[in-house]
Amino acid sequence: GMTYKDSGVDIDAGAELVRRIAKMCPDVGGFGGLFPFGDSYLIAGTDGVGTKLKLAFDLDKHDTVGIDLVAMSVNDIITSGAKPLFFLDYFATGALDVDKAEKVIAGIVEGCNQSDCGLLGGETAEMPGFYPDGEYDLSGFAVGSVKKEALVDGSKITVGDKLVGLPSSGVHSNGFSLVRRVLAASGSTMADPCPGTEGTIGDALIKPTVIYTRQVLAACDALEVKGAAHITGGGFTENIPRVLPKGKGYGVKIELGSWPVLPIFKWIQENGSIEEMEMLRTFNMGIGMMLVMDAESFAKLEEGACDIGPYYVVGEVVEGEGVEYTGSME
């Protein structure tokens, strides 16, 4: 079966680079960087949209990748309980196509509206000969703030805490190098219907990433959220351990089948003959944000203490290491 590494992305090499950077800058490694500022922390994050942009070029659809751009940074900083304050964008292209760029920026503005943050500024770089015709690249930078006493940092997580998952809209913005290989190998085109949905494969793949600002901040206000993980590249397997307190010997147990796996993931898995564990360390599989809370906070959530939309209890914190999966994906 296909793996993410075969498609040219080496998760292990990425982890090694983070290790080397950590030697130079010991504070790197969480989902967002913390900067003490009076009685608060400023939290900053940066990201791009990755090879999902190739999909936008192929579909000639440019009005939603800006939402993905904002989502990738904002979803990282809200895992600390931070309220997003402002966003900056960088748009680079060979020759500026004003109409196309306007659509991209409109998506960024929409993403900022969904995040309740301001688009403070940006850079448009025109670099002839640097990009193929009609293509562009994006990166974004988000800054938020959280009171020091309200910081969500995973330090209070303990055995028995529940993992509450918030549904994703689809592949979000990670794993597209593998998706594009699967698409090529399957003989399908993006115009073909996506089984289990009313739309095409292209529709399912380009769907913008969910921005979880309102859900996560509502939960942080009303409950004691002990940790939060944005499920991006590396899936459950790589992202959930990042929020557990170090050195305590905690892992998590995930109950496969406790949430609906979206049809697009089934299509990817079948057409790429991808093993279940490879899917779980590459894609979000239908859960884009994970909240960790104790039984008491979960009871309050069940009683309606706050409205975070649909959620699924997908597992719990256990003694052990890493992520252990039980059950099977439906």
> Quick one: how far is CA 183 from the chain centroid?
22
pLDDT in tens, 155-193: 999 999 999 999 999 999 999 999 999 999 999 999 999
E-assigned strand segments in 94-179 = 118-126, 136-147, 162-167
Element (H, E) at 19: helix 11-24
Half-sphere exposure in the Cβ direction for 248 (13 Å, CA):
17
Q: Which pLDDT band, with edges at 50, 70 and 90, does 32 fall under?
A: low
Contacts of 144 (CB under 8 A, 6+ apart): 32, 42, 43, 44, 74, 77, 78, 80, 82, 83, 84, 85, 117
Stated pTM of the model = 0.93
Q: Which two tokens stand for residue 208?
A: 């913008």
pLDDT value at position 30?
58
> Which position has the token pair 């490694």?
29
pLDDT of 28 over the 70 cut: no
Neighbour tally for 244: CB within 10 Å:
24
Average pLDDT over residues 65-83: 97
Q: What tokens does 214 get?
A: 């309102």
Given a cut of 90, whether residue 1 has pLDDT beyond it is no
Of 5-9, 89-93, 180-184, 275-279, the least confident: 5-9
List, in sequence order, every residue forming a beta bridge with 36; answer none if it has no partner: 41
Q: Nearest-CA neighbor of 311 among 288, 295, 327?
A: 288
* 109, 119 Cβ separation under 8 angstroms: yes
